Structure 1
């Protein structure tokens, strides 16, 4: 059992932790939640022994071990390969193996009749038993299983750690920690650098974990899947809830309601008491009662409402209408050195698509959306934007491009010179820049703050195609909800690379799965996609993932086939798919043209009917109104026919994608 006893910590004039105490029991799965800045990461560091509190203590048994994964800042040995770096976590086991070998050498040199022989044999038996219990004999397979579960391929094991990006280095650190199996496993935002497949593996691993797990995460679905208890930090206090994140939210809402009522009652009491004091302050006969009430007010513990109670919302400005096809990629080839990311990639984005882009890290998700955004060159093929398409793009690296000498507010003002100050401040408030925070220089912002500012700036730029690469990594629950609600109401088209299922599910209508040299489209949200993937796995089809981008060459196709043969088979497959799709495409193209024509006329009539003098001519009103109703009825029929064809075409696309 691990106990927190009266833990207090002050930063400047802020009481970050205000004498908090709790017991953490063996085997619990705990979600540690709270708004940004509440002290969640700090509390994990105190438990891990990296920060000493001003007051209080952490107590646990001598046998217990504590493992901690920070949000960032891991620093592996640059001289090690991936496998060697992970193996370093087991130095004690390797030392024990060396001691066993030395003891075996010693025993082999002793005379069996010697009095020291039996003593040495007993020592060797004890050491071998300890070695067996340590898991040494399964260590290699355990390391390989965890690395592959986190997205590495066998070919990555002998690559130098210097070849990997920061996100992959975090996975290496996570692998080391999971393999050490500490009694208390502390994870600070462990999902930020995982793709959906690694996330699913991680969930299963943690469900079966023998020790206690404490997780800080803004991924609601992940917390709901793993945790059975929630500790909520709020203005220095720790509230305890016997359930997962959704349970906490429900009970916290009830707590806030009780708190609000208590606050209102207290304010009423304060007002009445103050009125009595003001009325009788100078009456000698009431002096004793007045003094009594003054002391009562002074001793009263004032109830404060939580700051996050305030509701904030944001809406995108209505985008201009684009053409029916927003973006078309045809036979795109993209290669980095000897690594072919895409060969003959074709994909179309239609108006109104809300697309989640998923797949293993390194398969080309970010490369593909950068090509669509017009920010990435390609070796061959064609990129064709649709009519009247304007694009706005966000990725984490854009935070590094902000001008360091500008303030937060100046960055926003430059992006939208004509916007009202209240609107700029509202958007900044949505992304946790409140009060004087808007006057901070970019140079003093943390990496997460810069990322949030870059996202806020992007949202000011009017566009009908929004493209996001991991927009939620540095957002708290409230900010994610604000962005989610805004995207639900957004009338344009968007694509989002993300692994956050809870964020994506309510807002997307398609899932684009990107795998090495292939893409699959699923009509539905991410939960539907995961269901289909599970069915595909159970049916025995190949759904293996890909590791991080490699500089070494290798086959992108089927084993045992030459590249020329692969291309011939792929060409046959495309021709067969084209033949199947052709009759439907012949029907759907004119339907889309009809829809566009009728929608345009419908918009004209709506503008006409909005004119103040329209209703002065009764005959004209009757004529136009009849046309308007007829148009709406015709559009319902045309859309129904279009949807039937689109569904059939998607079924054919999926059939060929899964072959």
Structure 2
């Protein structure tokens, strides 16, 4: 169990975390969510003990081992495999003691402990984790310094997973992964035996893995039971209740003010008016729900072109005369929505660059309509923005000769209007810079937008805004992303890039996931391009799913009842904790009540977990 008590963290003289409290369960996955800038990574650093809070405390069991995924990539001449093995310092120390010739009376204890920590299966576990994260045998033997920063971050993640801490803190662990490795990680986390605190902006990952959502907003935190979709429903209900309370209070205020205005001057009613004035002064305003009016994406639609936009005919592409992909046959029409899938390093970005003409065809042919305009977004463009410039200056340079009104109109499509258009880019969040980069690459109303990992800097709400904007865009879209929700919501067809070829994948993203996780090597092998996921008639699939849901209704009711009970108990405890902060006379009784509620919540969590697992097993059967 991890407990956050009245946490206060200040940065730049401002309290970004202000009296936040929450008690996390002993096991399961807690998704830590909130808008960019809400303080999620700061809270995680405080949990890891990296920063000292300005007030309050974070408690955990004394014997609990805690592991944190740092954002610094490891380096050195050691191999990826050796780096992962070295992460288990206890195993290394015990083996070193054994090899140094420990006395006979110590050897028995050494062997017992080595067996207890699975020391002798450690090499196989390390290799399996590395393979799941995309490292084949040759890559596992390569020195760290031969890898890019993204691949070295995968080694850091593998090292942390290998140690298996009781409390696992993960800050955006899938940012440096391809879709295949992200699916493997999701599968790994589903069976993790300890407590996971996970910061992620990927809706599907939080829906599949998280059993709780810890929402951080306005310096406070609120724990919800359920996955991300459940959190959104519960929060929407709370916001609706909040708005209703604000409306009721506004009506009451108006009524009091009207009475005071009409009766203050009359001697017979002056006392009553004075009493109502005091009541009006004591009335605490209901807080307004936080909104972000700048959370905007609006892609300008292009002038129509006749199909096809691009065709590849037995094309070959590569670098320095060496082919990376060959035998490419592909046609892209104005209304196409295409996603490129396959492990990193197999050539997805290379294919995208060939399609838009950034790379020439080494053999075969690439043909494109002469009037084709392309908007090409890469995650590196976000880092290359001039931090000393403003969005208005950047867009004015890009749209040289355009009227100032046209420049501001393009910025306004992406939420940069008024003062935000003249804010220094260096003071912006990663999500704001990503929005600006998207505004820049689409300034000419392109016929084709290519998005290469567009979501790395975007929070969940911004990703959903991007999905909605793409739905309204009237041109063609090509997506390279590890975000399964983005692919599912925007792509009509998939192209699998693997083994030097790019071939249509006959199925949905769910079929592709089943193929990746259903490999003979435990879901770690890259899919072969010729393989196809088994398919059944869609009507039959829907009928079977409906039958399973119907049969599982009693289990679902039990799960929802357990969830309702747990939420009620958590609300009761929060009420008691609020009363305790007011230094009441009956503090002892409140402390006893809180202790009883803690015990009830622990039991209710176990009941809810069991009910959820039973329901999920029933509908997945």
Say whether the 8 Å CA contact 2:34–2:215 is kept in structure 1.
yes
Matched, 1:362 2:348: no
Tell me how far 1:374 sits from its aligned partner. Answer: 1.9
Of 24-33 and 327-336, the range deviating more from structure 2:
327-336
With over 3 angstroms needed to count, the CA separation of the structure-2 counterparts of 1:3 and 1:402, relative to structure 1, is: closer
How far apart are 1:309 and its partner, in Å? 7.3
TM-score under structure 2 length normalisation = 0.78
Q: Distance between the aligned counterparts of 1:241 and 1:541, measured in 2? A: 33
What is the DSSP-based 3-state SS (H/G/I as helix, E as strand, rest coil) of the residue aligned with 1:304? Answer: coil
Aligned-residue Cα RMSD (Å) equals 2.9
Q: Which residues of 2 match residues 218-367 of structure 1 at below 5 A?
A: 218-280=201-263, 288-308=271-291, 314-336=297-319, 340-367=323-350
Q: Secondary structure at the match of 1:505?
A: helix
Worse overlay, 203-212 or 345-354: 345-354
Q: 2:300 & 2:376 partners in 1: Cα distance?
A: 16
Please report how far the alpha carbon of residue 457 of structure 1 lies from its aligned counterpart in structure 2 after TM superposition: 2.1
Counterpart for residue 172 of structure 2: 189
For 2:164 and 2:453, locate their aligned partners in 1 and report how far apart those are by CA, in whole Å: 29
Residue 16 (structure 2) pairs with residue 35 (structure 1): no
Structure 2 residue aligned with 1:7 = 7
Within the candidate set 479, 482, 490, 2:462 is matched to: 479
2:526 to 545, 554, 559: 545
1:261–1:448 Cα change, 3 Å:
closer
Distance 1:338 1:173, change over 3 A: farther
Matches of 1:323 and 1:67, distance apart in 2: 55
Which residues of structure 1 form unaligned runs of 5+?
A: 105-119, 547-556, 559-569, 571-659
Instruction: Please name the residue that 2:44 is paired with.
Output: 44
Return the offset for 1:421.
Answer: 7.1
Matches within 5 A, 1:43-442: 43-70=43-70, 72=71, 74-104=72-102, 120-280=103-263, 288-308=271-291, 314-336=297-319, 340-377=323-360, 379-386=362-369, 388-416=371-399, 417-418=402-403, 419=405, 423-424=409-410, 426-429=412-415, 436-442=419-425
Asked whether the 8 Å contact 1:509–1:523 carries over to 2, the reply is no
Spell out the pairing of 1:461-476 with structure 2 (5 A cutoff).
Answer: 461-476=444-459
Is the contact between residue 27 and residue 213 of structure 1 (CA under 8 Å) also seen in structure 2? yes
Separation (CA, whole Å) in 1 of partners of 2:35 and 2:335: 33
The question of whether the paired residues in 2 share the 8 Å contact of 1:332 and 1:346 is answered with yes
Structure 2, unpaired ranges of 5+: 531-621
Q: What's the counterpart of residue 499 of structure 1?
A: 482
CA distance in 2, matches of 1:19, 1:201: 37
Give the direction of change, closer, same or farther, for the CA distance of 1:534–1:181 in structure 2 (3 Å limit): closer
- Structure-2 change in CA distance of 1:543 and 1:515 (3 Å): farther
CA positional deviation for 1:333 = 3.3
Matches within 5 A, 1:552-631: none
1:61-91 CA-partner distances (Å, limit 9, x unpaired): 1111211124x3x131322221222223123
Mean Cα deviation higher: 82-91 or 230-239: 82-91
389-398 or 271-280, which moves further after superposition? 271-280
Once the two structures are superposed, the pairs formed by residues 510-529 of structure 1 within 5 Å of their partners are 510-522=493-505, 525-529=508-512
Distance 1:122 1:382 in 2: 75
1:276 and 1:414 map into 2 onto residues whose CA distance is 59
Shift of 1:528: 4.1
Instruction: State how far apart, in whole Å, the 2-side matches of 1:269 and 1:15 are.
Output: 33
Residue pair 2:186, 2:205 contacting (<8 A) in 1 also: yes
Mean CA deviation greater in 525-534 or 367-376 = 525-534
SS at match of 1:103: coil
Please give the per-residue CA displacement for 1:24-50, whole angstroms capped at 9, x wherever unaligned: 122121111111111111111111111
8 Å CA contact retained: 1:277, 1:294 = yes
Change (3 A) 1:16 1:276: farther
- Asked if the contact 2:21–2:220 (Cα under 8 Å) also holds between the matched residues in 1, the reply is no
C-alpha contact (below 8 Å) 1:220/1:502 kept by paired residues: yes
CA distance 1:309–1:75, change in 2 (3 Å): closer
**Aligned positions, number:** 527
Distance 1:188 1:309, change over 3 A: same
User: Are the counterparts in 1 of residues 517 and 524 from structure 2 also a CA contact under 8 Å?
Assistant: no
SS of equivalent to 1:506: helix
Residues in 1 aligned to 2:410 and 2:260: alpha-carbon distance in whole angstroms: 44
For 2:239 and 2:366, locate their aligned partners in 1 and report how far apart those are by CA, in whole Å: 52
Q: CA deviation at 1:228?
A: 0.9
Higher deviation after alignment, 199-208 or 392-401: 392-401
Question: Is the 2:31–2:199 contact (alpha carbons within 8 Å) kept by the matching residues of 1?
Answer: yes
1:114 match: none
Alpha-carbon distance change, 400 to 378 in structure 1, aligned in 2, over 3 angstroms: farther
Aligned to 1:578: none
C-alpha deviation, 1:311, in angstroms: 9.6
Question: In the TM superposition, what whole-angstrom CA distance separates every residue of 1:558-578 from its partner, at most 9, and x where no partner exists?
Answer: 9xxxxxxxxxxx9xxxxxxxx
| 1:118-171, Cα deviation, whole Å (9 max, x unpaired) | xx4232101221122222211111110000000111101121212222221211
TM-score (normalised: structure 1): 0.74
> How many Å apart are 1:312 and its aligned residue?
6.1
Is the partner of 2:85 in helix, strand or coil?
helix
Change (3 A) 1:460 1:266: farther
Helix, strand or coil: the match of 2:100?
A: helix
